[in-house]
Amino acid sequence: MSAGAARGLGWPGQPDREGGAPAWPGALGWPVPPGSGDDAARPEAPDAGPEMPIARAARAAVSVRAGSETWPRPRGCRIITIANQKGGVGKTTTAVNLAASMSLHGLRVLVIDLDPQGNASTALDVDHHSGVASVYNVLVDGQPLAGVIRPSESIPQLYCAPATIDLAGAEIELVPLVARESRLVRALGGFDSSGLDYILIDCPPSLGLLTVNALVAAPEVLIPIQCEYYALEGLEQLLRTVDLVKSHLNPALAVSTILLTMFDGRTRLASQVAEEVRDHFGEIVLKTIIPRSVRVSEAPSYGQSVMTYDPGSSGAQAYLAAAREMAHRMATPA
């Protein structure tokens, strides 16, 4: 059969060459015995063009998992409360993914889950069914914090003090207790944090006693702000609460970090909200903005942070950049 007929049947055509042989055996996918190929006849590989998105994601995934860069450790353990009474702004997602990013880069991190829903515990794959020793026992029963801390199975140097559904009743049970606003800070005072670099406290979407305990226990507050109009309306109330706690219970308290989350670049409103927040709060707003990401939402259903679920995704890369920015700031909050 001629080469033209072969091409007509959809077979690979053979370049013209004496005897009808292909220019080089590998051109047809045949194995090339060592030393039998005609290197001079083989076509040169084309120059590499722009890197494709899938290649960028793969390279980013390898970089995240390898943890090739070790970030600087703070002078002492930094305790940061992540709070916003508005629900759905990314408090738990921020706590979990910042903690995972830091742990993957050599830092030792504890997440204290103060939300009765226990979403942070779920994302870190830490058991938190009813009856498990949890933050509830620390706040209400006075158990030592060290007794409820569990390691995250998927990431070394990452730990979690889980929340169970029992914590939902803690708001009422704390009311008659002495120094009810200071239960968490007393627990942290009796806990040896010298082996940790960061303690991140994930708050419920309210300004009740659990959130007040978190604000009393930490000198720093990180506020995630969703890039939508309603997010700005509740911010004033949160800042008033921070000022009240600072005046009466924790003079060292300050808003040290603001993180813009759920940014949708397709809307003009998101850009306007981001600009307004930067104009008002200045340098405490991180340069990194967290975009909306399906992967970030999917990860907890697999008991993972997005850093291990899909480290090459846009959400994982954004949280990685935000955590790096926080780790390198190292400055005392204003």
pLDDT tens per residue across span 19-30: 444 443 444 344
How far apart, in whole angstroms, are the C-alpha atoms of residue 304 and residue 122? 8
Question: How would residue 68 be classed by pLDDT, with cut points 50, 70 and 90?
Answer: low
Give the model's pLDDT for residue 315.
Answer: 93
Question: How would residue 43 be classed by pLDDT, with cut points 50, 70 and 90?
Answer: very low
How many other CB atoms are there within 10 angstroms of residue 241's CB atom?
A: 17
Query: Is pLDDT of 8 > 60?
Result: no
Residues 10-20 have a mean pLDDT of 44
Residue 323 in tokens: 């955590």
- pTM score of the predicted model: 0.79
Which range, 47-56, 110-119, 264-273, is most confident? 110-119
Query: Is pLDDT of 317 > 60?
Result: yes
Question: How would residue 266 be classed by pLDDT, with cut points 50, 70 and 90?
Answer: confident
Give the model's pLDDT for residue 332.
Answer: 42
How far apart, in whole angstroms, are the C-alpha atoms of residue 143 and residue 200? 20
Contact yes or no for 219/253 (Cβ under 8 A): yes
Asked which of 119-133, 228-242, 253-267 is least confident by mean pLDDT, the reply is 228-242
Question: How would residue 155 be classed by pLDDT, with cut points 50, 70 and 90?
Answer: very high
Give the model's pLDDT for residue 113.
Answer: 96
How far apart, in whole angstroms, are the C-alpha atoms of residue 307 and residue 317? 8
How far apart, in whole angstroms, are the C-alpha atoms of residue 71 and residue 107? 7
Query: Is pLDDT of 175 > 60?
Result: yes
How far apart, in whole angstroms, are the C-alpha atoms of residue 168 and residue 252? 28
Asked which of 76-80, 167-171, 244-248 is least confident by mean pLDDT, the reply is 167-171
Give the model's pLDDT for residue 21.
Answer: 43
Contact yes or no for 284/334 (Cβ under 8 A): yes
How many other CB atoms are there within 10 angstroms of residue 304's CB atom?
A: 22
Residue 328 is inside which H or E element, if any?
helix 314-329
From residue 63, give the alpha-carbon distance in Å to each of 105, 119, 137, 149, 178.
10, 27, 39, 29, 49
Question: How would residue 39 be classed by pLDDT, with cut points 50, 70 and 90?
Answer: very low
For 49-66, what is each residue's pLDDT tens digit? 455 444 454 455 455 555
Type of residue numbered 36: S
